[in-house]
Amino acid sequence: MLEQLLAGALEDANTRRRERPYADVETEALRRPAPLDALAALAPADHVKVIAEVKRASPSRGDLAEIAEPQALAAQYEAGGASVVSVLTEGRKFKGSLADLEAVRKAVSIPVLRKDFIGDEYQVLEARASGADLVLLIVAALPQDRLVRLHALIRELGMTPLVETHSEEEVARAVDLGAQLVGVNARDLSTFELDRDLFGRVADQIPAGVIRVAESAVLSLSDVQHYRAAGADAVLVGEALVTGDPIATLASYTSV
């Protein structure tokens, strides 16, 4: 499944590239005002930080919410106390787009993450050209040499890579990369199985000074408390926010 998602995302990027060549997107990316400092926004604090996700659907959960105006939802996230907004830009299974990212970027003053299946440089430039401050890199989807290259490019453009892992081996690869922001996804992107205890098993492997993010299946206050107790500096939340009351949910989560 992960391979298919990546292949689909790369195919869609190639289609866009025919309309908007690499050099044009690069020029646009370099013309943007500097990215916001995501590491500062997510720095460890006396409460857990929340990365709030704009998410319409997923292959494991199906349709979640219509979200006709992602910018309005993102503005609620910011008002509710989110530290970062994550925007799913994958179109096939998650029903997102780069237009969503651009609309959100205009509506909030906190950092914005491009959440997608990133496999080449063009997608990274697109992220910056659309105003992203952070870009997701999924360790399981990429060989280490490509991960190293994309991680470096994201940083050269002033953005922050969020390096997503789902095992001890993948955490080791993220640490090797010098990642400063490491996510542990409870969901296996190949089988969609959930393991909420994975974060607690690998958290100690992430060096001090690196920001630790627990991702997926945060559906209640007790899930947030569970991850906080295991050492999470931040949690990444989609479903609970798009299907519930985002302001009230954020108020409760950010009090942990």
Ligand X SMILES: O=P(O)(O)OC[C@@H](O)[C@@H](O)c1c[nH]c2ccccc12
Q: Does 12 bind ligand X (CB under 6 A)?
A: no
Q: Does 67 bind ligand X (CB under 6 A)?
A: no
CA atoms within 13 A on the CB side of 179: 34
Indicate which single residue of 73, 84, 108, 218 sits in contact with ligand X (rule: CB under 6 A): 218
* Residue 168 is among the residues annotated as catalytic for this protein: no
* Residue 115 is among the residues annotated as catalytic for this protein: yes
**Hey, what are 230's tokens?**
């295991």
Buried b / exposed e over 173-186, threshold 16 CB at 10 Å, is bbbebebbbbbbbb
What is the per-residue DSSP string for 132-186? -SEEEEEGGGS-HHHHHHHHHHHHHTT-EEEEEE-SHHHHHHHHHTT-SEEEEES
Active-site annotation holder among 55, 58, 102, 130: 55
Pairwise CA distance, residues 19 & 47, whole Å: 45
Torsion of CA 21, 58, 199, 207, to 10 degrees: 10
Stretch binding ligand X (CB under 6 A), from 33-41, 102-110, 201-209, 210-218: 210-218
Nearest residue relative to ligand X (C-beta):
238
Stretch binding ligand X (CB under 6 A), from 29-37, 74-82, 122-130, 209-217: 209-217
Q: Does 188 bind ligand X (CB under 6 A)?
A: no
Query: 5 vs 41, which CB is nearer to ligand X?
Result: 5
Q: How far is the CB of 105 from ligand X (least distance, A)?
A: 19
Q: Which of 86, 45, 79, 72 is nearest to 212 (CA)?
A: 45
Indicate which single residue of 170, 239, 250, 253 sits in contact with ligand X (rule: CB under 6 A): 239
**Hey, what are 57's tokens?**
């659907």
**Hey, what are 53's tokens?**
């996700």
Q: Does 89 bind ligand X (CB under 6 A)?
A: no
Query: 177 vs 241, which CB is nearer to ligand X?
Result: 241
Among positions 115-154, residues that touch ligand X (CB under 6 A) are 115, 138
Q: Does 226 bind ligand X (CB under 6 A)?
A: no
* Residue 55 is among the residues annotated as catalytic for this protein: yes
Query: 122 vs 227, which CB is nearer to ligand X?
Result: 227
Show which residues are catalytic: 53, 55, 115, 164, 185, 215-216
